[in-house]
Amino acid sequence: MLPNDRRKFILEQLSMNEKMDIEQLVDSLNVSAMTIRRDLNHLEAQEKLIRTHGGAVLNKPLVIETSFQVKEGKYSYQKRQIAQKALNHIQSHSTILLDSGTTTLEIAKLLKEKKDLTVVTNDIKIAAELMDSEVKVIVAGGELQNNIGALFGPLTEQVLRNLHVDLLFLGAHAVHLEEGITAPTFEKASIKKLMIKSAETTWLVADSSKFGQKSLTKVCHLSSIDGVITDDGITDVCEEILKEHLHVVTVEGSEAK
């Protein structure tokens, strides 16, 4: 195996296991411990991992909340493609719950011409997007998160506890193969948990940049949802592990020139 292939394998293993020992990598790659140490040193110099006694861990901080303006400009093509694919799962006369976020906002944009749908959301930008459509919109009101547009708190939770919807499109700040879906605050995690509980079917809509990441508060394990729509930027290893828990749909991750 070429050095670049070995190093890619090492990073993939770390993304799944958090920590790897040199002995484990020696057994997996069938190379010497000295070769593994050189690979780890190389990856540490690139700030992709942190060397530990006898092994390494990924050099990844917890994901924190970012403003709507920052999120809106990132991975916009992938988000539009994910939203387009999400439409395939929407039937007429459905009640749909749209979590707050820029990917779910792209779904809302595609629903504007639809009829016979009810959309519930805790996102004021999604509600505004559908304001002039024929879609029935229910806003799970609560405290507004400035610079984000999400509604949260006891009032939002009260609405969600009294709901049962056909379909939830769930956003995510971070998705990890072992830790599952996580959120940057307890309030956000609580809202997402209630959304999942209120939905007959839950699809996670998240671009590939969200995978291999962790945030502060646990939302759920991947086995708690039904499927994920993402782009083909996720690794083959990640996709195979996801398929052990749920249905996986991938879209083209790079815009055609």
Nearest Cα neighbor of 173 from 181, 161, 164 is: 181
β-pairing, 143-144 vs 151-152, is antiparallel
Which residue would you say has higher pLDDT here, 158 or 237?
Answer: 158
Give the sign of the dihedral formed by CA 158, CA 159, CA 165, CA 168: negative
For residue 128, name the pLDDT band (cuts at 50, 70, 90): very high
Tokens 């484990």 found at: 24
Please count the structural domains in the chain: 2
Query: Of 58, 81, 104, which residue is a domain's last?
Result: 58
Same domain? For 10 and 53 the reply is: yes
Cα separation values, 7 from 2, 38, 120, 227, 241, Å: 9, 10, 45, 30, 20
Same domain? For 32 and 155 the reply is: no
**Cα–Cα–Cα angle for 218, 222, 227, nearest 5°?**
130
β-pairing, 19-21 vs 55-58, is antiparallel
Domain with 149 in it: 68-251
Which residue would you say has higher pLDDT here, 177 or 228?
Answer: 228
Same domain? For 54 and 74 the reply is: no
Answer whether residue 190 shows pLDDT above 60: yes
Query: Of 16, 36, 58, which residue is a domain's last?
Result: 58
Would the pTM count as exceeding 0.85? no
Same domain? For 16 and 109 the reply is: no
* pLDDT at site 52: 82
Beta bridge partners of residue 21, listed in sequence order: 55
Which residue would you say has higher pLDDT here, 145 or 94?
Answer: 94
Q: What is the pLDDT of residues 3-30, one digit of tens each?
A: 998 998 888 888 777 688 999 999 999 9
* pLDDT at site 1: 81
* pLDDT at site 257: 40
CATH code assigned at 9 = 1.10.10.10
Same domain? For 84 and 43 the reply is: no
Q: Considering the domain boundaries, does residue 153 fall inside one?
A: yes
Same domain? For 183 and 164 the reply is: yes
Same domain? For 214 and 110 the reply is: yes
The average pLDDT across 161-186 equals: 93
Return d(Cα 78, Cα 74) in angstroms, integer: 9
Return d(Cα 50, Cα 14) in angstroms, integer: 11
Q: Considering the domain boundaries, does residue 256 fall inside one?
A: no
Q: What is the pLDDT of residues 39-82, one digit of tens each?
A: 999 988 887 877 888 888 776 665 555 555 555 557 889 999 99
Q: What is the mean pLDDT of the chain?
A: 89
Q: Considering the domain boundaries, does residue 197 fall inside one?
A: yes
